[in-house]
Amino acid sequence: MTKVIRNVIVPNLFLIALCVIMIYPVFWWFGAAFKTNAELSSANFFPSSPTIENFTQGWFAITKYPFSVFYWNTFKLIAGVLFTSLISCSLVAFGFARMHFPLKNFWFSIVLLTLMLPNQVTIVPQYVMFDKFGWVDTYLPFIVPHALAGGIGGSFFIFLLVQFIRGIPKEMDEAAKMDGCSTFKIYYRIILPLLKPALVTVSIFCFLWNWDDFFGHMIYIKSIDKYTVGLALKLFVDSQSATPWGQLFAMSLLSVMPGTIIFFFTQRYIVEGIATTGLKG
């Protein structure tokens, strides 16, 4: 009995207490979204009289632009990033995993080294370059780097796909060559269909990371009509007037819903895609 208490009950109680501490702000935030402004300063954990006015008023709080505009802008940006990233990263990964060229290991090491390079280090030279191209206040600074297998998570996606492709037997490539397939046809007809679990994992990470990229969006997007959801939330905070905290909490709660829903419905694909990258063919 003593061993059960020490090895099972005590660790579980510790984890439960830790979870409560971490989840408490989330529950408070959820309750605050349904509170009136007068009740926000109270000590009540949940609202005594829940209201949805924060959601209805917050959705149309920004003059001329309902929040549907910002959601549409965000989905447009992510759709372009996602499409280009899947194509470019899978092509680069196929080259590293299956093709032979001079200094292949060296260049792959360079790709891995960029994983250790914070995005903030390159933001200044990138901004200067994109400004000279006339791309500031457009979505091109996000889409074009992903089209070149760069952008947020590009190196990680390449590494993930390379490891997955290495787990696909090379005999399939040789059989395809005997049937007359070119290198590109092997990629398109053999490798790409088998990459589905890893591509789903890449898509999920790419969506979540770009949805949460407030810093990058703030640097490059200037016009309100092009704002993403994250940028629209900062419009509620005005140093010259009172901040409508209830509306801000309500809209921020809605802003995390897409990512949360996608994560809960696709987490098994994340586990499957990452787990299978360790297999060797």
pLDDT, block means (10 residues), the chain with 281 residues: 69 87 85 81 74 87 86 93 92 90 89 83 90 92 87 86 87 84 86 87 89 90 91 79 82 89 80 60 43
The torsion angle over the Cα atoms of residues 220, 78, 75 and 191, rounded to 10 degrees, is 170
What pLDDT score does 280 carry?
A: 47
Q: CB 214: neighbour CB atoms within 10 A? A: 14
Q: What's the rounded Cα separation, in Å, for the pair 268 and 175? A: 32
What pLDDT score does 37 carry?
A: 77
Buried b (16+ CB within 10 A) or exposed e, 55-75: beebeebbeebebebbbebbb
What pLDDT score does 70 carry?
A: 93
Of 33, 185, 29, 223, nearest to 94 by C-alpha is: 185
The separation between the first and the last C-alpha atoms of the chain, rounded to the nearest angstrom, is: 47
Of 139, 160, 153, nearest to 73 by C-alpha is: 139
What pLDDT score does 275 carry?
A: 64
Whole-model pTM: value is 0.84
User: Using the 8-state DSSP alphabet, how is residue 212 labeled?
Assistant: T
What pLDDT score does 4 carry?
A: 61
